[in-house]
A and B are shown apart, each in its own frame.
Chain A
Amino acid sequence: MAALPAPATTPKKIKKLSPGELMIAWGDGHETRIAAPVLRRECPCAQCKDEMTGVRLILPMHVPDSLEFRRIELVGQYALQFEWTDAHRTGIFSFEYLRSLCPCEACEKIRSGAQ
């Protein structure tokens, strides 16, 4: 996917709406609402995604829909790190990656158009 302009990947506000839902308001005005299990399934860490082949090692069925956030932390100034209620916490989600995961209809449309 082509690189997005900087404001689109710069968060202005990050808020835990509920134990299982995160909201990120981006610099371009867009708002992402994403559920804890959705993020867990896309975890980019080496335990969840093979470092060499990129093959996903964690499968959707491994993650219950009831999964919640235990902790949300800022990593330096470029990423977020989550700890979920399954105790997993090694994934670092860059702001670019988080924006690319936005599940809203508009973003979905852009993604399918780009493919």
Chain B
Amino acid sequence: MAFWNKESTVTEEQVLSALKNVLDPDLRKDIVSLGFIRNLKIDKGAVHFDMTLTTPACPVRDQMRDQALALVKELPGVQTVEINMTSEVRQAPQLDRTALKNVRNIVAVGSGKGGVGKSTMAVNIAASLAAAGARVGLLDGDIYGPTTPIMLGIETAPKSVGPRIIPQEAAGLKFMSMGLLVKTDQPLIWRGPMATKALQQCLFDVDWGELDYLVIDLPPGTGDVHLTLAQAVPLTGAVIVSTPQDVGLRISMKTLRMFQQTRIPILGIIENMSYYICPHCDSKDFIFGNGGGKRAAEELGIPFLGEVPLDLAIRTQSDIGSPIVLAQPNAASSKALREIAEKVAAQISIRSYDAPTLEIE
């Protein structure tokens, strides 16, 4: 390097034009145009800036940071580079018009049939997003068979202040269950309009506060709760949980069609119970067949979010009210669940950028 370069300082333009070479692989634009680079400060050879991503659970966060770091370091006159990684989750279009204007994204977790692990997925996705630093709420919408309260170890009714319900807190989440509105051992025998009313109450009368993500665990199938949700709020998207078994998948299609008819973007399919890991010899058994979820996702042209194994630890952690992603973060199943949560977050970011704008006057 020529001697005068040591004296020269790098300019903002040079830093920004170097950073323009870093692309967000999900949003397919460079990080400067996306507005990720903020508070750029240059003090002689020391460069500081914030990189503000669209989600704290960004799956390519480290990759983009390393790339940016390397490119800026190469510039003449740069001695040190400091990147402060932050995030700001964008609000889904139209959501600011509803009573939930402090909630940025609402994501539903659904399935065709029951027992595929919807609640387990919803709880662990929500807990993973919260662990990554996002503000997350979880609404258990399954009034008829609420299991989420057990998975989070909460079985008492929420308190209320005047007409507002205060959500409970567990696993870093704000939590509300429609099941907590009734006594634990009593079966719920409600007609549709009551379920509709209860869901509206859980959405609009609960003090959710500021949330980046509100995850809604749906009951199985396509019933009153689903339709009410599709009509009451503009959902950012829906995640479908299925088992690899053909039956599970075929029924999931119905749920998928319902989401399409009500124009709720499908964020992807999660295949749960993909295989069984033998606790004795660690071998994989594909009890319900292999690759069904992935094939279905490809056929339908929707993202495949990942596979979660049948793992005894997921079940035992759920039963004691302590989600596996928090209790055993290094377990293989936790890693799979965390990656799925990151993919969901990435899909949400893509949707908020691509969403068609709608002006209403």
Chain A contacts to B: CB under 8 angstroms = 10-16, 27, 72, 74-79, 92, 95
Contacts and interface: CB of A to CB of B under 8 A. Distances in A.
A78 B357 contact: no
A78 B97 contact: no
Contacts of A92: 231
Majority SS at the chain B contact face:
loop
Interface residues of B, number: 19
Given A13-B359, A74-B358, 8 more contacts: A10-B356, A12-B358, A15-B359, A74-B97, A75-B231, A76-B234, A77-B263, A78-B261
Contact of B361 (A12, A16, A27, A75): A16
B360 interface: yes
A27 B233 contact: no
B356 A14 contact: no
Majority SS at the chain A contact face:
strand
A11 B356 CA distance: 9
A50 to B, nearest CB: 20
Contact of A14 (B235, B263, B359): B359
B298 to A, nearest CB: 21
A15 B360 contact: yes
Contact of B356 (A12, A72, A78, A79): A12
Nearest to B261: A78
Nearest to A78: B263
Given A12-B359, A15-B361, A76 B97 contact: no
Contacts of B231: 75-76, 79, 92
Interface in B248-302: 261-264
B261 A27 contact: no
A74 B360 contact: yes
B232 interface: yes
A36 to B, nearest CB: 16
A77 B234 CA distance: 5
A14 B359 CA distance: 6
Nearest to B95: A77
B361 A76 contact: no
B200 interface: no
A79 B231 CA distance: 8
A76 B264 contact: yes
Interface in B220-237: 229-235
Given A76-B232, A76-B234, A78-B262, A27 B356 contact: yes
A42 B226 CA distance: 26
Nearest to A96: B261
B94 interface: yes
A14 B361 contact: yes
A16 B361 CA distance: 6
Interface string B339-357: 0000000000000000011
A15 B230 CA distance: 23
